[in-house]
Amino acid sequence: MDYELDGNSFPADEEGYLTDITVWNKELADLIAKDENIEMNDDHWEVVNFLRDYYEEYQIAPAIRVLTKAVKKSLGEDKGNSKYLYELFPYGPAKQACKIAGLPKPTGCI
């Protein structure tokens, strides 16, 4: 399933993860989010940007438990908990947020 934006086509795998992480941009993120029935607000962006930074640093998309812990460390307890992250991304914070962030599916995610 590919994403279409401004006449360009961006290849994705059968689950909707971009196959080339370098083509990602904010408009594409909005489009992927819409596909996931998510209207992006500042809180969503904060997590998505956090994931982009995490990937840049470690070259992987973190499993949910690891993401939660890392968010807690850098953004505080109010945000570093499963409830907060699931409210933002109801179908799984690691999976959905990674998809919107243009990253691969998290390692250790079945």
* Contact status: 75 vs another protein (CB under 8 A): no
79 phi and psi, to 5 degrees?
-105, -25
Where in 3-22 is the site for another protein (CB under 8 A)? none
CA–CA separation, 29 and 3 (whole Å) = 10
* Contact status: 86 vs another protein (CB under 8 A): yes
The interface mask with another protein, positions 40-69, x = CB under 8 A, is -----------------xxxx-xxxxx--x
Q: How far is the CB of 22 from another protein (least distance, A)?
A: 12
Buried (b) or exposed (e) across 58-88, using 16+ Cβ within 10 A? Answer: eeebbebebbbebbeeeeeeebbeeebbeeb
**Distance from the Cα of residue 27 to its chain's centroid:** 14
Catalytic residue list? 109
**Residues engaged in binding another protein (CB under 8 A):** 57-60, 62-66, 69-70, 81-83, 86, 107-109
